[in-house]
Chains A and B, each alone.
Chain A
Amino acid sequence: MRRLFSGVGNGFAEIWGHKLRSLLTISCVMLGVASMVLTTGFMEGFFKNWEDSLQDQGGIEKIFATAQGVKEKQEPFSAVSPGLTLADARALRALVPQAGVISPEIEAPRPRLSRKGKTFEGRRGARVLGVTNAILEINRYEIGSGRAFSDLDMRDDSEVIIIGSKIRELLFAPGDEPVGAFIDFNSRPFRVIGVLRNYERLWGTYNTLDWKNEIAFVPVTTMATKVQRSDRLSFLNIKAADVSLLRETVDAATNVLAQQHRGIIDFNVRTNEEQLASFASTKASFVIGGGAIAGVSLLVSGIGIMNLMLASINERVREIGIRKAVGATPFNIFSQFVAEAVTLSLLGGAAGVAVAVALIKVLAATLPPGSTPLLSPSAFLVGFVFSVSAGVLAGIYPAIQAAKLDPIDALRYE
């Protein structure tokens, strides 16, 4: 340990002795480490965003059951199936304990929301869904003010509505209290009982979460009896109680639905797994790509350090001879030169991390949120490991050369 410190001390003396040469080498390492840390930061930022948006769609434990057309050979019998209905939700509730949350949803076609002559027209028009409180959990909605549906709302098919923040913004003046007020849904008055939290994740100036704000919920029973006049579901979403039981849950749900539909496969059960798989494979390819960039930068910095060390050894043949004559073992010489190389690369690494941090700070302030690099501890770790390994790897060969020098030849050297 003591020798290592004296080696590092020596390293500083040598660096000071060849300022320009050392500066160039250090900048080599600095650029390598900075680009490494920056790339890692960008990758982490990108994947963090993607992962968040996966979570916003219900995460991996979400299972989607939707109606779909039957296969040709089943077509003549398709009328025996009642289709995807509220009864299916009740059957799943009763028969599939692995289904933690079950959310039956009926979407109103071409809904029209209006109040005092103002009509909501979102980018894609507002969506109005007949739901239960389960949707809040499955799709991660939070009530900003007011309340969720009560059992009475469900039982009595009450005309109550929960609206998204965008709808509130368009139908109400900023000072108006929406909770308790009435708005018209397809010309039928509904009392607002809650307003959803405002969701925002900007990609440039575009809010990628606007779809969560341009939405309104009414009780699924109200939607079935008073608007759609049938209990046919648009979606039946399920959240598995345990991710590790996802497959079993999907199988059980499929069986129950097939039973309910008298063997007619007029539904489709999917999961987020495919998206997740593509997330994982993209991430893997990015890691490989990042690894390749790291490898090239490592190589470049390594070559710079090795070049410097070899030049320095040529200049210091005599010093090596003297050190050997006064009792340095080959290992002493070897560790001295490795320590010098590590000192160089550590200086470069520290400078590189500093530059990268500054750049990330600047980019975070100027780039639109959503595409900014993240400053993570792993980036520092990468920078540190990177520079030390560049130093050690590039130092080994010159250090071996130095250790192998014959002291007599070295002393004769002029």
Chain B
Amino acid sequence: MTALIPWNWKRHLSETRLFDCYLAERSGEGIDPPAAEHLADCRKCRGRFVALTGFMDDTWIAADEETSAIFTPDRLLLQQHEIARRLELMGTGGRVLTFRAGAESVDGMGRLDRPVGQTISRAAAGWIAAAAAAGLFVGLGAGMFYDGRSLRTPTGTTISQPPAGRQEPTQVEAPVAPPQDDDSLLFSELEAAATRPRMPELDALDAMTPRVREISNRIR
């Protein structure tokens, strides 16, 4: 009795075999004859095959209908137009917009090297700070140099003494003013200079004497 049973009746189709049957049927190749014969005769395997086919078809239909609901014919038509438009633009090179503040920072692909709005790079800012510091130091140095020269001038000037035997001019001592503010000191010095006796032979000597400013500096 057992010998009369064909091979495909001995066992049910395995899951892989069933899946191959499903793939073959879906692609239109057709199920191989032994498996097709078994499916035709075995109710259990046919039920499994129908369940497998139903599950796979359900997932496909679900995905297709979901996609169709999103990508409607209008949207697909729009997509076709968009593809056609991009194809026409494909031959032409991209146009790079130049910006006044950062034209040099746009590379060949049209990308900005730095964020928009940042107009000074970090390197340039560093150079500017260094230049400002250097200028400050140079200014301070120059100021100290000129100031030192102006301070040294009265002390380095030698006042020549009048030659012996000559008449000593009337020395008018400059009034020693108490430390006052600059304006009152200046006016008192001017007043003293105006009351000073004027002698032509002493003009040269007078020219060599320190002026009001030097006196005021010396007083200080």
Same complex: no
Taking Cβ atoms with an 8 Å cutoff, the residues of A that contact B are: none
Taking Cβ atoms with an 8 Å cutoff, the residues of B that contact A are: none
